[in-house]
Amino acid sequence: MVNRDSVIISHHARVRMFERNISTDDLLSAIRAGEIIESYPDDEPRPSLLMLGFIRATRIM
């Protein structure tokens, strides 16, 4: 199960999430339902993944 304690969000990612109005809950939902595109087990300082996931759609009128 993916939860807040099992995901490390970098400063860069936090800034981008803020710019795009993506919450931590949105991110966790996208991870839970998403698809792993590529895995980088040797990344430093820790392993990472490239994922495809979607969050709620907001329609602006």
How many structural domains compose the chain? 1
pTM of the predicted model, to two decimals?
A: 0.69
In a domain, 61, yes or no: no
CA distances 21 to 1, 3, 31, 41, 59, Å, are 24, 20, 17, 29, 14
Q: Which domain holds residue 47?
A: 4-52
Q: What is the pLDDT of residue 2?
A: 78
**pLDDT (tens digit, 9 = 90+) per residue, 4-57?**
888 888 899 999 999 999 999 999 998 889 999 999 999 998 888 899 988 876
Contact 7, 27 (CB under 8 A): yes
In a domain, 20, yes or no: yes
In a domain, 57, yes or no: no
Burial class of 29 by CB neighbour count within 10 A (0 to 12, 13 to 18, 19+):
middle
